[in-house]
Amino acid sequence: MHIAYWITAGLLALFYLYAGAAKAFRSRDQLRPMMAWVDRIPLPAVRALGVVEILGAVGLILPPLTGIAPWL
């Protein structure tokens, strides 16, 4: 069961990390072909969403890895 968790959590964390990094570091023009909704949302909100996605990726990996609050 641990192997299945790590495979699933690792893949999901990679997807979150990619999507979050794209939103946090790319310009609006670079995001527009992938995400048409970025024109309707203020850029700081898009950046904040990217940071939250990056934190979500960290939250999937860090608690079970360190043993601190693994129930998260």
Looking at residue 72, its pLDDT comes to: 64
Establish if 17 belongs to a structural domain: yes
| Whether the predicted pLDDT of 7 surpasses 70 | yes
Tens-place pLDDT, residues 13-51: 999 999 999 999 999 999 999 999 999 999 999 999 999
CB contact at 8 A, 53 and 19: yes
| Whether the predicted pLDDT of 71 surpasses 80 | no
Domain residues for 20?
Answer: 2-66
Looking at residue 65, its pLDDT comes to: 85
pTM: 0.85
| Whether the predicted pLDDT of 64 surpasses 90 | no
Establish if 21 belongs to a structural domain: yes
* Torsion from C-alpha of 50, 22, 61, 71, nearest 10 degrees: 30
Task: Look at the chain and report how many structural domains it folds into.
Answer: 1
Looking at residue 14, its pLDDT comes to: 97
